């Protein structure tokens, strides 16, 4: 009886300890896996943020200095070229066709467009003011989407528009990417987002975040 009692106590003592160790090990593994997933997600968003930012920043630089890519050498903004005249002046479809033609080459349009490219590009690359960048970038992409007007099968002159999708094009993809990056605070990883958020005027005005 005494031996049976001793064996029962010994079994009751060791088994829960073994289970606790297994539970603790599983819990630590779950935490480690969750942390790794969170870190991978943060870095993935950071990479998307920086690449998207470079798209805007490069567009600004090329249009300003005429590196010979989208903007021919000697036709840059600093050489007297217009960043908006070519694109807006060539709009040939959509409900704002005549409006865009009237804006093409105007100094206010040039400055607004170029400052938008620079501001959005710098915000994304550095990881600060992503909400402002999302609003400005979405507005810019919406206007460019209207300028190209993907729903149209034919241009104003009757020729084929060459649209490949009546709704979703790269402008909308960029707009959604900007909104997502702002929503997940993508500037916190590999960026200055956390430092920016700690600034007193940013803490007092969350829309600057």
Other C-beta atoms within 10 Å of 177: how many? 21
pLDDT mean over 130-147 = 98
Instruction: Name the average pLDDT for the chain.
Output: 88
Q: What is the dihedral of CA 120, 125, 126, 132, to 10 degrees?
A: 20
Which one has a higher pLDDT value, 8 or 91? 91
Look-up: residue for tokens 């990881």? Answer: 127
Give me the pLDDT at residue 177, please.
98
Give percent of the chain above pLDDT 90: 81
Give me the pLDDT at residue 19, please.
52
Angle separating helix axes 107-126 and 170-183, nearest 10 degrees? 50
Nearest to 181 by CA among 47, 19, 61, 64: 47
pLDDT in tens, 48-73: 999 999 999 999 999 999 999 999 99
What is the DSSP-derived secondary structure letter of residue 160? B
- Please check the confidence at residue 131 and state whether its pLDDT lies above 70: yes
Nearest to 103 by CA among 130, 83, 132, 129: 83
The SS3 assignment for 136 reads: helix
CB 192 within 8 A of CB 158: no
**DSSP letter string, 178-195:** HHHHHHTTGGGSSSSHHH
Q: Which residues pair with 137 in a beta bridge?
A: none
Give me the pLDDT at residue 38, please.
78
Q: Which residues pair with 160 in a beta bridge?
A: 154
- Exposure of 163 in the CB half-sphere (CA atoms within 13 A): 21
* C-alpha span between 158 and 177 (Å, rounded): 34
Q: How far is CA 177 from CA 10, 49, 168, 170, in A?
A: 60, 8, 13, 10
């Amino acid at each position: 009886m005494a031996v049976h009692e001793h064996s029962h106590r010994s079994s009751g003592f060791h088994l829960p300890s073994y289970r606790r160790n297994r539970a603790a090990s599983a819990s630590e593994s779950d935490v480690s896996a969750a942390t790794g997933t969170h870190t991978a997600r943060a870095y993935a968003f950071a990479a998307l943020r920086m690449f998207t930012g470079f798209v805007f920043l490069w567009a600004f630089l090329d249009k300003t200095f005429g590196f010979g890519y989208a903007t021919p050498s000697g036709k840059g903004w600093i050489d007297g070229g217009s960043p908006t005249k070519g694109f807006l002046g060539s709009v040939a479809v959509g409900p704002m066709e005549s409006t865009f033609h009237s804006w093409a080459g105007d100094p206010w349009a040039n400055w607004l467009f170029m400052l938008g490219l620079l501001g959005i590009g710098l915000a994304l690359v550095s990881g600060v003011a992503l909400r402002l960048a999302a609003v400005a970038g979405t507005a810019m992409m919406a206007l460019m989407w209207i300028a190209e007007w993907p729903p149209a099968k034919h241009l104003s002159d009757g020729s084929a528009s060459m649209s490949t999708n009546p709704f979703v094009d790269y402008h909308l993809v960029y707009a959604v990417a900007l909104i997502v990056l702002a929503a997940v605070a993508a500037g916190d990883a590999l960026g200055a987002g956390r430092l920016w958020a700690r600034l007193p005027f940013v803490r007092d005005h969350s829309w600057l975040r």
